[in-house]
Each structure stands twice: as C-alpha cells, then as structure tokens.
C-alpha cells in the first residue's frame, strides 16, 4: 500500500529529517501539536501496532530507541509523550505504523 510515509521513505516527498538508518526514519510533523513534534516510522511497511508479527519486535524496539535518542537531541529533557495511534478508533490517519513524539511544554492528561 502506498502512503505518504512510504513516499517520504522513497524520497518522493520532502521531509525535515532528524534521523535515518536502515530500519527507521524520524522527521518533524508538518502539523505540530506541541512545540516539538516529530514522527518515527519503520521503513518496513507495517500498518499498525495491531498488525505486528514476531519478526517486527526488533524494528519496533529500534523505533522506540530512536524516539528516545532524538527526543534527547531535541532538548526534551523535561519529558515527552510517545504515541502510536492504532487503527481508526485509535485515531490513526496514515495506515503505516508511526510514533508521535511530543514535547516542549507540559502535556495534559487525559490526552483525548
């Protein structure tokens, strides 16, 4: 399935890339919901957390580690939120697994 994220991975759509390796890509959200808002996506096409297989464990672990490292490099020392919206009822709009990292201000609870 072709998504906006697969086009970003392929270089067909520009993105403000913060980090890239063979497994994942981190880039700024084009519609930020916090002073710092970036996404971390696996390069492998995985639809959502609900669609993970055992083989995806290392990929998801790498994405979470990259989220933490990029959050630190972005100065989110006071904390941040890591979100993976899953399927329609969970608010997922792009059907490619992605993690939102939001920070740079105090985040309220509950989120939505």
Catalytic sites, residue numbers: 98
Distance between CA 43 and CA 57 in Å, rounded?
14
- Written as six digits, the tokens of 52 are 């993970």
- 84: how many CB neighbours lie within 10 A of its CB? 16
> Based on C-alpha coordinates, what's the Rg of the chain?
13
């Amino acid at each position: 399935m072709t998504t906006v994220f697969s086009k970003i991975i392929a270089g067909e759509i520009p993105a403000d890339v913060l980090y890239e390796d063979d497994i994942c890509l981190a880039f700024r959200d084009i519609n930020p919901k916090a002073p710092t808002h970036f996404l971390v996506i696996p390069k492998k096409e995985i639809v959502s957390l609900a669609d993970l297989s055992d083989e995806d464990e290392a990929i998801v672990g790498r994405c979470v580690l990259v989220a933490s490292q990029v959050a630190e490099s972005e100065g989110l020392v006071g904390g941040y939120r890591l979100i993976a919206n899953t399927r329609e009822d969970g608010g997922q709009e792009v059907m490619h697994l992605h993690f939102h990292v939001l920070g740079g201000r105090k985040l309220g609870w509950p989120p939505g």
